Amino acid sequence: MKDSEHPFFRPLWRRVAVVAVCLIWSVIEFATGTPFWGVIALGFAGYGAWQFFYLYKPADETKPPADPKE
């Protein structure tokens, strides 16, 4: 999640899916009695939410791409 501006993360559903998987992973870890890993997965989910929803700035889709000849 170092490069949250990567084109892979442009669709909202992918950003939501990454955070949801981390949350589900955290719940599974807590349910199986491993709170250490549950806290780590919860930290991943929190960091993902911070990067993908709070700090995320989508690319300007209206700007034309640069001309490669120039």
Distance CA 27, CA 37 (A): 10
Place of tokens 């009695």: 33
Residue 70 counted as domain residue: no
Provide the residue range defining the domain that includes 34: 7-54
Distance CA 69, CA 18 (A): 38
Residue 63 counted as domain residue: no
Residue 50 counted as domain residue: yes
Residue 62 counted as domain residue: no
Count of the separate structural domains present in the chain: 1
What confidence tens digit (pLDDT) does each residue in 43-69 have?
Answer: 999 999 998 888 777 666 566 666 566
Residue 19 counted as domain residue: yes
Q: Residue 70 pLDDT more than 60?
A: no
- Quick count: other Cβ atoms within 10 Å of Cβ 59? 9
Q: What is the pTM of this model?
A: 0.74
What confidence tens digit (pLDDT) does each residue in 9-44 have?
Answer: 888 899 899 999 999 999 999 999 999 999 999 999
Helices (DSSP H) in 9-59: which residue ranges?
A: 12-31, 35-49
Residue 64 counted as domain residue: no
